Amino acid sequence: MNKEEAKAISLKALVDKENNRVIFVESDEDFTDVLFSFLTMPMGTIIRLISNHNQPPTVGMGCMNNLYESIENLDMQRFRTEACKTMLLCPRNGAAPQNKRLKLQIDDGELPRYFLCTTDCTLSGHKLLSLYPNAVCECGGLMDRTMELSNKTVKKLVFDGRDRGVFVKGLTQFIISDELQVKPSSIEASLSLLSKIGLMDCSAIEEYNIDIGVDEVFTLLMCSLVSKKPLTETLLKQNSSPKFGKEDFDRNIYVKSTVEEPESNVDGKIHVKLIVSKSKKMVCYAEASEEFVDLVSSFLTFPLGYIIKEMRSDFSMGSLTHLYNGVQDLNVEKYFKSNEHKEMLINPKLAPDFGYENHPLGIEEGLHPKYCYAEHSCYHSQLTSDGEIPCGSYARSSILTVKDPKSHFKEATRGGFMAGPAMFTVTDNLIITPMSQVQSLCLLKELKVSISDIEERVVHVGREKVS
């Protein structure tokens, strides 16, 4: 048995033989946790995974794909720090410690690394820790001394074996419909699903025993984004390469492009200059500062569950809305390890340090664990994240503060990702480039909009326009 087979999850599927479709699968905590973990994944991670698994050809994700490629193509000097570009292209998951315990994991992102300044600065100076390379300490020195978390801390965070399950309790049983409706296992729930599709003849159904691995989980994630029958397409291999179109990811996620009358100047909002075609009543492109690009690029760091929560009143993303609603309806005491675990799925937070001051959406970010550095000699030191100061042979120790990777040293505020002041061109389909009049005129030509047909309008972007 190879490593992949050892990690496979076994499922029982009830299949409609005549129509070759999955009616539902029976699942314990292993598969349910994997499915629920989709809600914690940042959009940038999903785009990166799809791009890495589909070359050639790359599966597109509408405007979000354009946004990701724009960030990828921007020169490093456009970002406040080197870490900023990495954070947008490879955003960390706010539920990463929990997801590391999943039986099947598809996120291939790098594990956090730890960097310190000199010993004296770490123990008695600024006492900073960086989770990204090439950070500059507040003393002005480069934080280039690498450390690893002690094995004890890693085991506590990642391999907590006190009970089974990651988000849901161990030994719980669920049935999951083809469109990812999750319900506690019961005869009433199974009969309801059969009745829903008009199938009451037992001779038309058949039991399948299916083992799924990492490849199937990744296919299921892709299918769940756009399909109403992701289990059928994944488990019965009807469509191993789902196609994403612009319409699948444009529905009111972004700043609305419909032309409105100019608003009065509103403090606390981001000002954007729109170049509008009067005859076509459409936005050709926007001229925007780094503040607006910070806002738009931060969409890549948003967990999928947050996007569904904010947009589900007028937005549908494949089968994931059903998944989200199922999580929300499950009883906390019966099925989840704690209320906090359920909140990670229905109100997911940004990973620590991925937020910034005055973000129009005000999305919450998680907190770092309490890091401690202790040293007995230059050959014997330890970094922990459980908040406990090591005792015994360690002569000196200090509690560390994690440095904001988006900020240079001695900056008073927690800023965004982009360096400023700077101006950018943002097209209606979220292609971002440094502002260039030559490029702007060529864009009008491409759109077949004459110069005499355009006008400028200033809008002020707040929460209502973003959502």
pLDDT digits 0-9 by tens, 31-44: 999 999 999 999 99
Q: Report CA-CA distances (Å) from 12 to 170, 240, 272.
A: 18, 20, 53
Q: Give the pLDDT confidence of 19-69 residue by residue, as tens digits.
A: 999 999 999 999 999 999 999 999 999 999 988 876 444 455 668 889 999
pLDDT confidence of residue 160: 43
Report the mean per-residue pLDDT for the chain.
85
Instruction: From 124, 178, 138, 166, select the one nearest 38 (Cα to Cα).
Output: 166
Query: Distance (Å, rounded) from C-alpha 256 to C-alpha 251?
Result: 9
Q: Give the pLDDT confidence of 333-383 residue by residue, as tens digits.
A: 999 999 999 999 999 999 999 999 888 888 999 999 999 999 876 668 889
Average pLDDT over residues 12-16: 95
Would you place residue 391 in the very low, low, confident or very high pLDDT band (cuts 50, 70, 90)?
Answer: low
Q: Report CA-CA distances (Å) from 45 to 11, 91, 312, 416.
A: 27, 6, 21, 19
pTM to 2 decimals? 0.88
Would you place residue 110 in the very low, low, confident or very high pLDDT band (cuts 50, 70, 90)?
Answer: confident
Average pLDDT over residues 439-462: 92
Answer whether 218's CB lies under 8 Å from 53's CB. yes
Within 18-113, strands assigned E span: 21-27
Q: Where are the alpha helices (DSSP H) in 228-384?
A: 230-235, 246-249, 290-297, 304-311, 320-329, 332-335, 339-346
CA angle 358, 325, 41 (to 5 degrees): 50
* Tokens representing residue 372 in the block: 């401690």
- Say which residue, 454 or 200, is predicted with more confidence: 454
Query: Distance (Å, rounded) from C-alpha 101 to C-alpha 104?
Result: 9
CA angle 363, 364, 367 (to 5 degrees): 155
Query: Distance (Å, rounded) from C-alpha 75 to C-alpha 86?
Result: 12
Would you place residue 112 in the very low, low, confident or very high pLDDT band (cuts 50, 70, 90)?
Answer: confident
pLDDT confidence of residue 465: 52
Return the number of other C-beta atoms located less than 10 Å from residue 361's C-beta.
Answer: 16
Q: Give the pLDDT confidence of 265-320 residue by residue, as tens digits.
A: 455 678 899 999 999 999 999 999 999 999 999 999 999 999 999 876 555 677 99
Return the number of other C-beta atoms located less than 10 Å from residue 420's C-beta.
Answer: 14
Q: Give the pLDDT confidence of 262-272 residue by residue, as tens digits.
A: 444 455 678 89
Average pLDDT over residues 95-117: 91
Element (H, E) at 430: none
User: What share of the chain has pLDDT > 70, as a percent?
Assistant: 82
- Return the exposure string of 223-247: e unless at least 16 CB atoms fall within 10 Å of the residue's CB, then b: bbbbbebbbbbbbbeebeebebeee
Would you place residue 147 in the very low, low, confident or very high pLDDT band (cuts 50, 70, 90)?
Answer: very high
Average pLDDT over residues 159-173: 78
Q: Is the pLDDT of residue 253 over 50?
A: no
For the chain, give percent helix, strand, coil, nearest 5. 35, 20, 45
pLDDT confidence of residue 378: 62
* Tokens representing residue 138 in the block: 């507040």
